[in-house]
Amino acid sequence: MKYKASCHCGAIAFEVEGEIKAALACNCSLCQRKGSLLWFTPLAAFKLLTPASALSTYTFNKHVIKHHFCKTCGIHPYGEGVDPKGNSMAAINIRCIEDIDLESIPVQHYDGKSA
């Protein structure tokens, strides 16, 4: 299935293709504050529809995940990183996906605070 998503103001918009089987709620110092629900998908399934110049990027701790957010509205629609096997991945904040039924998606909790 192809999903459309964006930040609040629309300056960052993208499409992503795949099947959302679950979302991850992380309790690390950043995710706990921003409250995102993450769906991990291969970066090749992700297509940015707006200029990358609308993005700002934040990294912390081991600096392995690029947390992207909108320069205008501050929403964090996605991030980029590499999985343990070395594959480029997108971490999609499913709260930014249009017309999604969040209640129907199982949430797995990850202890990023201790990782």
Locate 96 and state its tokens.
Answer: 């930014």
Q: Is position 115 within any domain?
A: no
The reply to whether 48 falls in a domain is: yes
Examine residue 90 and state whether it is found in any structural domain, yes or no: yes
pLDDT score for 63: 80
Per-residue confidence (pLDDT) for residue 114, from 0 to 100: 87
Instruction: Say if 32 falls within a structural domain.
Output: yes
pLDDT, position 91 = 97
How high is the pLDDT of residue 115? 79
Enclosing domain of residue 17: 2-110
Total structural domains in the chain? 1
Residues 6+ apart with CB under 8 A from 78: 5, 14, 46, 68, 90, 91, 92, 93, 96
pLDDT at residue 102 in the model: 95
Residue 82 lies in a domain: yes
From the list 79, 91, 95, the residue with the least C-alpha distance to 35 is 95
Instruction: Tell me if 23 sits within 8 A of 37, measured CB to CB.
Output: yes
Q: What's the average pLDDT block by block, 10 residues per block, for the chain (115 residues)?
A: 97 98 93 93 98 94 89 97 95 97 96 86
User: For residue 65, which of 74, 47, 78 has the smallest C-alpha distance?
Assistant: 78
What whole-number distance in Å separates Cα of residue 102 and Cα of residue 115? 26
Q: The whole model's pTM is what?
A: 0.93
Does residue 50 form part of some domain?
A: yes
CATH number, domain with residue 89:
2.170.150.70
